[in-house]
Amino acid sequence: MIVLHAGEFEGGLAIWGEESADGAAPRIKTTVRSPSVYPFGADGRLAAALEEMVPGFAPADRAHEVAVWMPTVAAGPIPSSGIISEPPPAGAKAKVAPWSVTAYWLYHDEAVDLLCRVMGRHTLAAGVVVGEDLAYWAEAVRLAGSLVARQQFLPDMVSEGGSYWAVWAPVLEGVDAERFGRLAGRMPAAARALSKVGAARPKRPAAGVLRTVVYGMVDQLVRAATHRAAKPEDLRRDKFYSAHDRWLHALRYTDGDMGGHGADAAQVAAHIREWRRPVAASAEAPFRLCFRLEEPARPGNGTIGDTADGIDNGAADGRDSQWYVRYMVQPRADPSLMVPADLAWKDGAEAEALAQHGRNIREFLLASLGQAAGICPGIAAGLEGGGLAGHAADTAGAHRFLTEEAAALEQAGHAVLLPAWWTGSGTRLTARAKVRPPRTDGLGVMTLDTVFGFDWEVALGDQTMTVEELEELARLKQPLVSVRGQWLALDAEGIRSAIKYLKKGTRNSTLLDVLRMRVDAAEAPSGLEFDGVEASGPLGELLGQLDGSAKLQDAEPPEGFAGSLRPYQLRGYSWLAFLQKWGLGGCLADDMGLGKTIQVLAAVQLRWAGGDRRPTLVVCPTSVISNWNREAARFSPDLPVMVHHGPGRLKDEEFGSAAAGHAITVTSYGLAHRDEFLADTEWGGVVLDEAQNVKNPQTKQARAVRSLHAESRFALTGTPVENSVGDLWSIMEFLNPGLLGNREEFRRNFLLPIQAHQDAKAADRLRRATGPFVLRRLKTDSSIISDLPEKMEMNVFCSLSREQATLYASVLRDADERLAAADGIQRRGLVLATLSKLKQVCNHPAHFLGEPSGAAGRSGKMDRLAEMLEEIIAVGDQALVFTQFVQMGHMLKRHIQETFGREALFFHGGLPQGQRDRIIQQFQAGGAPVLILSLKAGGTGLNITAASHVFHFDRWWNPAVENQATDRAFRIGQTRNVQVYKFICAGTLEERINEMIERKKDIAERAVGAGEGWLTELSNDELRDVLALSAEAAG
């Protein structure tokens, strides 16, 4: 396992790594002049990891021996994470000392590529963990990308040692400067801990280090865009007329290096500094210039008022409508203080109030107004007249200020205050779609393809506008008019478009178009704000229930359903039944353990009981196929279920005929794309369990499930899908195809505006578009927690891998031969040894074979644990994992750390007491998401209330012992509900022994002895039945 780190080094980023050393690290001393080699350095694996992750990276001539300054105790350096090595004893005195490591310096484009991959991830691949400092620099590239996307940069020239470089430098003003400051304040020490070997400890301030790296990233991102548009002849150009000509070329087509060029280049650099001076002065000043647009005291001509005929068209020349742009000064430290510029210039109380925040107010005003005058001609004209208070504008000038100059002034770093009706909080001219009911026999036959008629309606506030009034507005030919006492900005094209739409009459649209129109009315009259969809009848009820304005009625549990739904489960089932009735898709994203499976089974049972006998396809990870089979048998025993898995599965027409005769067919994601004939069946519904498996739309399994034909579609996941914008499209495209547009439309309308621009409006539109189709409840919700018992226990059935099934059968054959010839104490020992071997096989093949580590995909239990832990870690919960075997505990620790890039603690009997105490203290303090415990060492005497999830990875087959272990979390001091998961390999001894104990649980808790000795009393025939391997066991 390797932990990747990144630190600023010589103006860029250098990558170094850590990996755990074999055995205990030796005691080593180090010095500043000659630092010792870092014992946990990942020098050997680092180059190979970078070659895999950074396109085009070549390690030759890129390696540097650098000093990394790390906390160090007498025994040696303290690694960054417990993943690498155990921390030193509490109280050990530490100092910062240098250690020698091999680091690879990345070019800016390589650094940007790597950091974009890092965003939001703890691991980059199995065993490749993202360090805290590397994750920090990913946040820095997000800031750089935001600046470039909003064009917050200017060209510049820098020099060093007589050489000059053309660069693109960011402009950090206002909220960007604040964001930069917050990011600098959170810089981890490791991000600025690199120096040359033998040099002093780096003490450069965090803001300076961040500035160096962000400036380099911005320069690279701008150049990447210009290079894509470059012509080959431009890139090869080698003759220039002047240093200025070379500078312009270097900005676009090279790495920026301009060479020497002496006095000419120095002169150009001086001109550039002078050109940039107003921006720099504005960014560094303690004040900000504000411009406030004020409406006329009374509406002049260009007004539609309330007269006898409802229209007062006036002369429409706008000469009486005098607008005013007022100049104000605002201290950056106190935005609530706004002083008119003419009063700030004079000596008085207002100027004195500003002076508390900084001096040279007059110099600031002259520089800032001079800069603004170059943007806004009205300001220039006002200054020529000697006025500092502001300038007047006619209607056309006011409209120009609103539409063009205000944005340019804000881009230059000034504040702009505009009227409420312009910024969105006032009354506006809007268009809404009035949808007519379809000609159908009732709600039940409507689908996403059902056609509706709709008409457009234009309104001012809540008052509908007629065609005649709109035509009068068009005749005014004014960009700003007062209508019924309220100012409006008019788009002549928009008015003409609205008139055309109103005259055209009724249009047709599908239900899918109506749903899309709710949040993104691409077909609405251009130039008018969209005010939603209005409908009556069943469609009105549907839209009201989707938007939450109408309450969704609870549905009765279906006939034949054998389960008992808790109140929140009844609400979830009712929501699924509602969507199913309309043929809509929904994502049930409840917290793990809230019973998503039972809610879906109730919805499937409802359709089946209602006479709709079309089959439902459940696609899930291989590890939970058995769980679906058993849950269906438990809660919906009347529903015929077929498992489509394994080498003997049906194909083509045989499969289609068999699936048609079953209510539910369960298969895996792997077969969903391998068995293409699944798309030939007309499914009544398709359910994706662990739907995060299709969050990447380009994978084969994601494309395969989108190709399935079904009337309704459900996705189940315990992870908060709404938190990842990039993952939403794939899941939503499966659930309701076309709702968010195609992938490019989604990228343009949502992904880029939200992630690159932090566009709140785009985020709100996405939330309104997807919100009705995502139901997420947390265990901590007040409406949920009262429905839950304090402790919930559930069996989790896992499938064996083929390798496990083969090993299991081999152990059985060997035991059967030996048991036939054994008796007495020899037989007893043989039975216990066989039980232990079979449990090891069920855990992981590597456990049985004595291998040091176990890869993913070889064990159904290991895979299922990782899937469930993914949901737990994603929501910030903590978990205990119990196992009887110390070897298995070490394997689990390694696998969890490699999979999630987070430290997993392991509490077992081989640890000294002091280390045991530190582990419990660290876990209780939230220092690790997972604590693995050996059942003997951790089963009693501990108080671990930080965990709200308990896993029994392998079973002791003694309910009293397991309950004692569970009570490490479920005890006094626990403030949350505790969920207990008992892993069972289906079709093996684990399932049959569990059934025996469940049948006589009250007796077992009192009478069954410690351990599994009672199983040795079974006869050979009884034992053979208990240990047998069922055909369904192998996934």
**Is residue 270 situated within a structural domain?**
no
| Segments forming the whole domain that contains residue 89 | 2-234
Whole-angstrom distance, CA of residue 80 vs CA of residue 75: 15
* pLDDT at position 842: 95
What does the DSSP assignment read for 1004-1029? HHHHSPSTTGGGGGS-HHHHHHHHPP
Residue 17 scores a pLDDT above 70: yes
Say yes or no: 145 and 69 in one domain: yes
* pLDDT at position 527: 59
Whole-angstrom distance, CA of residue 958 vs CA of residue 960: 6
| Alpha helices in 376-466, H assignment, sequence order | 377-384, 395-400, 406-411, 420-423
Whole-angstrom distance, CA of residue 925 vs CA of residue 927: 6
Work out the average pLDDT over 420-438. Answer: 73
Q: Are 701 and 573 in contact (CB under 8 A)?
A: no
Say yes or no: 26 and 102 in one domain: yes
Q: In Å, what is the CA distance from 1024 to each residue of 819, 827, 958, 1000, 1016? A: 10, 14, 21, 21, 12
Among 197-201, 355-359, 589-593, top mean pLDDT goes to 197-201
Lowest mean pLDDT among 203-212, 442-451, 463-472, 823-832: 442-451
What six digits make up the tokens of 844?
A: 């992981």
Phi then psi for residue 666, to 5 deg, are -110, 130
Between 355 and 318, whose confidence is greater? 355
* pLDDT at position 628: 92
* pLDDT at position 557: 92
Q: What is the pLDDT of residues 764-790, one digit of tens each?
A: 888 888 888 999 888 777 777 777 677
The mean predicted confidence, pLDDT, of the chain is 83
Three-state SS at 349: helix
Neighbours of 457 (CB within 10 A): 17
Between 64 and 548, whose confidence is greater? 64
**Is residue 224 situated within a structural domain?**
yes
What residues does 257 pair with on adjacent strands? Answer: 165
Say yes or no: 72 and 221 in one domain: yes
Sign of the torsion angle spanned by Cα atoms 89, 95, 99, 105: positive
Three-state SS at 26: coil
Q: What is the pLDDT of residues 614-669, one digit of tens each?
A: 999 999 998 889 889 999 999 999 999 999 998 889 999 999 999 999 999 999 99
Neighbours of 366 (CB within 10 A): 14
Q: What is the pLDDT of residues 132-147, one digit of tens each?
A: 999 999 999 999 988 8
Q: What is the pLDDT of residues 268-290, one digit of tens each?
A: 888 888 877 766 666 667 888 89
CATH of residue 748's domain is 3.40.50.10810
Three-state SS at 788: coil
Q: What percent of the chain has pLDDT over 70?
A: 87
Lowest mean pLDDT among 22-36, 57-71, 621-635, 804-818: 22-36
* pLDDT at position 964: 80
Q: Are 49 and 20 in contact (CB under 8 A)?
A: no
Say yes or no: 753 and 691 in one domain: yes
Q: Which of 561, 1029, 631 is nearest to 812 (CA)?
A: 1029
| Boundary residue ending a domain (234, 253, 276) | 234
Say yes or no: 775 and 798 in one domain: no
Q: In Å, what is the CA distance from 92 to each residue of 76, 338, 921? A: 11, 55, 17
| Boundary residue ending a domain (753, 785, 817) | 785
Work out the average pLDDT over 903-921. Answer: 89
Q: What angle do CA 901, 907, 909 make, to 5 degrees?
A: 145
* pLDDT at position 713: 94
Three-state SS at 435: strand
3-class secondary structure per residue, 827-858: HHHHHHHHHHHHHHHHHCHHHHHCCCCCCCCC
Say yes or no: 293 and 347 in one domain: yes
DSSP label of 692: G
Q: What angle do CA 211, 214, 220 make, to 5 degrees?
A: 140
| Boundary residue ending a domain (766, 785, 804) | 785
* pLDDT at position 577: 93
Whole-angstrom distance, CA of residue 828 vs CA of residue 711: 57
**Is residue 562 situated within a structural domain?**
no
**Is residue 321 situated within a structural domain?**
yes
Among 261-265, 468-472, 473-477, top mean pLDDT goes to 468-472
| Alpha helices in 903-981, H assignment, sequence order | 913-924, 935-938, 959-966
Among 251-255, 518-522, 672-676, top mean pLDDT goes to 672-676
Tally of helices (H runs) and strands (E runs) in the chain:
41, 37
Q: Are 766 and 581 in contact (CB under 8 A)?
A: no
Say yes or no: 851 and 875 in one domain: yes
Q: What is the pLDDT of residues 545-568, one digit of tens each?
A: 777 767 788 889 999 999 899 999
Q: Which of the four pLDDT bands, split at 50, 70 and 90, describes residue 303? A: very low
Q: Which of 90, 5, 91 is nearest to 40 (CA)?
A: 5
Between 18 and 956, whose confidence is greater? 18
* Amino acid identity at 871: E
Say yes or no: 633 and 773 in one domain: yes
**Is residue 133 situated within a structural domain?**
yes
List, as own/partner pairs, every contact residues 891-896 make where C-beta atoms lie below 8 angstroms and the sequence separation is at least 24, other chains included. Answer: 891/844, 891/846, 891/847, 891/852, 891/853, 891/854, 892/862, 892/865, 892/932, 892/953, 893/932, 894/1, 894/853, 895/853, 895/854, 895/856, 895/862, 895/866, 896/866, 896/869, 896/930, 896/932
* pLDDT at position 171: 87
Work out the average pLDDT over 538-547. Answer: 78
Neighbours of 751 (CB within 10 A): 19
Q: Which of the four pLDDT bands, split at 50, 70 and 90, describes residue 322? A: confident
Three-state SS at 878: coil
Whole-angstrom Cα Rg for the chain: 35
Domain total of the chain: 5
What six digits make up the tokens of 346?
A: 């004079």
What six digits make up the tokens of 335?
A: 């935005």
**Is residue 684 situated within a structural domain?**
yes
Find all residues with CB under 8 Å of 683, minimum gap 6, and list them: 614, 615, 616, 617, 708, 709, 710, 711
Residue 308 scores a pLDDT above 60: no
User: Residue 60, exposed/middle/buried by CB under 10 A (0-12, 13-18, 19+)?
Assistant: exposed
Between 167 and 504, whose confidence is greater? 167
What six digits make up the tokens of 543?
A: 């839209």
Say yes or no: 702 and 735 in one domain: yes
Residue 414 scores a pLDDT above 90: no
* pLDDT at position 316: 39
Neighbours of 963 (CB within 10 A): 15
Residue 484 scores a pLDDT above 70: no
Say yes or no: 187 and 42 in one domain: yes
Q: Are 290 and 330 in contact (CB under 8 A)?
A: yes
Residues in the chain: 1035
Q: Are 498 and 338 in contact (CB under 8 A)?
A: no
| Alpha helices in 771-924, H assignment, sequence order | 782-785, 802-819, 824-843, 845-849, 860-874, 886-900, 913-924
Q: What is the pLDDT of residues 818-855, one digit of tens each?
A: 888 888 888 889 988 999 999 999 999 999 998 877 77
Three-state SS at 148: helix
**Is residue 1032 situated within a structural domain?**
no
Query: Pairing relation of β-strands 323-331 and 390-393?
Result: antiparallel
List, as own/partner pairs, every contact residues 112-117 make where C-beta atoms lie below 8 angstroms and the sequence separation is at least 24, other chains included. Answer: 112/141, 112/144, 112/217, 112/220, 112/221, 112/224, 113/54, 113/55, 114/15, 114/50, 114/53, 114/54, 115/140, 115/141, 116/141, 117/53
Q: Which of the four pLDDT bands, split at 50, 70 and 90, describes residue 1011? A: low
Say yes or no: 919 and 943 in one domain: yes
Say yes or no: 939 and 815 in one domain: yes
Three-state SS at 633: helix
**Is residue 106 situated within a structural domain?**
yes
Lowest mean pLDDT among 57-61, 813-817, 882-886: 57-61
Q: Which of the four pLDDT bands, split at 50, 70 and 90, describes residue 945? A: confident
